[in-house]
Amino acid sequence: MRSSSEGRMWRVLALLCVMVLVAAACGSDDGGEYPWVSQTQTTVGVPAALDSLTYGDHQRQVPCAECGSSSEGWDPDEGLVTFCPSDHPTLYYDNQIVVEGEFEPEGAEDVTPILEINGGVFEPPDYHLFQWPGAVDVLEVVELARAAGSDASPNYLFELSPGWKFGPADDRTQSGAPTITKPSDWSVGTIAVLDDFTLDPNDDTSGHGVFIENLLLALGHEVERVRLEFGSTVPNSVISSHEKDTWAVAAALASAATGDAEVISMSFGTYPCDGYPPILVKDQIALLRETHTLVAAAGNDSNGNPDPGPAFFPASEADVIGVGAVGWLPGTGWIPADFSNIAAGQVWSPGVAIVSELKTGPGDTPETWQWSGTSFAAPIYAACVAAGRC
């Protein structure tokens, strides 16, 4: 027969076992303490300069119970969603085509826009935008243009906060945590941020660009705003305010080239059909690669799937540094976030529970918020590049 002290000992041991089991459950990928972690993923390395970043008293990451848990986001205009031959969804106008060369598609009107940018207008030679009164098989016309000696592509739509969830990896939340801190050995650079800088309290992605801008300012850099003009550059083409067409993105890249920044940060993208890249944007990137370092978010569509899936453009471009998001798992190390896309050759940067200042409306006092996504991993890596540390 056990003594009362032995009984208490066994009860304590049993309680400890239960606590261990609970802790293990909380650390799994079932929405516990670290919902952004996928058990299928292993630790990865980040540059030493990023490993030393601090958030006040916290090194590497502010503790956060809900960071990286997917938000419902919002849905695009269903009329713009189509499917590539490989069956993955994409967004482009079903009645427009971008052409480089002399090809003129039958029954289409030349609606080529002339956009104002820093230092003049964006009017690339030999490029045209054509539009039909109704839907056509755009990829079939692209092939006709190629057969005639021209190059062509659909007029793709690019999304902010990359991902088919059409938003960052989680909802932004107010935080009492301190913002990120500039390491003492980082030099000061200038970064061009291509983004939206509107502030709408009724829009849960409003402030995306301002959040990134303040993040880079906290890291000691100067920021050149390059506003992505939302909507279509073609009159009477109505799309969601969160979407930019090919021409608008190319114009923003051309505008960035006129500034002082040598590093360009892009937290947006699209999923083009295989073999049909957005030619005008691709060509602008090729022009910039000689003078600038281009950094882009890898996208938030993995959902723990190790298969990288369709390429997310422009992060997938060889001339662009694609950046995936990692979070710090205590006792383990840097773990790729469950939401982060994975692509060959990409780098990793902190993108979970990122803290920055944000105003939720014009005239509001800046407040501290935290957000997760590759949208924020990319500018942090861009800051490291601009500081000469990555």
CATH number at residue 56: 3.40.50.200
Asked if residue 81 has pLDDT above 50, the reply is: yes
pLDDT at res. 7: 44
User: 177: pLDDT confidence band, cut at 50, 70 and 90?
Assistant: low
One domain for residues 353 and 221 = yes
Distance CA 60, CA 347 (A): 17
Alpha-carbon distance of 17 to 264, in angstroms, equals 51
Range of the domain at 118: 81-156
Tell me the pLDDT tens digit for each residue of 306-359.
555 667 899 999 999 999 988 888 778 888 888 888 776 789 999 888 888 776
Residue 152 pLDDT > 60: yes
Query: What would the pLDDT profile of 236-277 be if each residue is shown by its tens digit?
Result: 444 445 578 898 899 999 999 988 999 999 998 888 998 999
Strand partners, 100: 127, 151
* Predicted local confidence at residue 267, as pLDDT: 92
What pLDDT does residue 370 have? 80
Specify whether the CB–CB gap between 361 and 199 falls below 8 A.
Answer: yes
Q: How far is CA 239 from CA 51, 79, 117, 176, 242, in A?
A: 41, 9, 22, 37, 8
Kindly report the pTM of this predicted structure: 0.83
Q: Is the pLDDT of residue 67 over 60?
A: yes
Query: DSSP secondary structure string, 215-264?
Result: HHHHTT-EEEEEE---B-SSTT----TTEEEHHHHHHHHHHHTTSS-SEE
Q: Is the pLDDT of residue 73 over 60?
A: no
Which tokens go with 339?
A: 């939401």
Q: Give me the number of domains the chain comprises.
A: 2
Query: Is pLDDT of 138 > 90?
Result: yes
The SS3 assignment for 141 reads helix
* pLDDT tens string 352-388: 888 887 766 666 677 777 888 899 999 999 999 999 9
pLDDT at 42: 77
Which of residues 156, 171, 197 is at a domain's end?
156
Residue 134 has pLDDT above 70, yes or no: yes
Domain stops at, among 129, 156, 183: 156
pLDDT of residue 299: 86
Whole-number pLDDT of residue 223: 93
Question: How large is the average pLDDT for residues 28-53?
Answer: 68
Average pLDDT of the chain, as a whole number: 77
Final residue in a domain of this structure, among 123, 156, 189: 156
Same domain, 199 and 260: yes
Q: Are 96 and 232 in contact (CB under 8 A)?
A: no
* Token pair 């938030």: residue: 300
301 domain residue, yes or no? yes
The answer to whether position 30 is within a domain reads no
Shared domain for 286 and 331, answered yes or no, is: yes
Confidence of residue 25 (pLDDT cuts 50, 70, 90): very low
Helices (H), the chain: 4-26, 48-51, 138-147, 208-218, 246-256, 279-288, 374-386
Query: Does 239 share its domain with 149?
Result: no
Q: Is residue 8 part of a domain?
A: no
Nearest residue to 350 (alpha-carbon basis) of 84, 12, 47, 38: 47
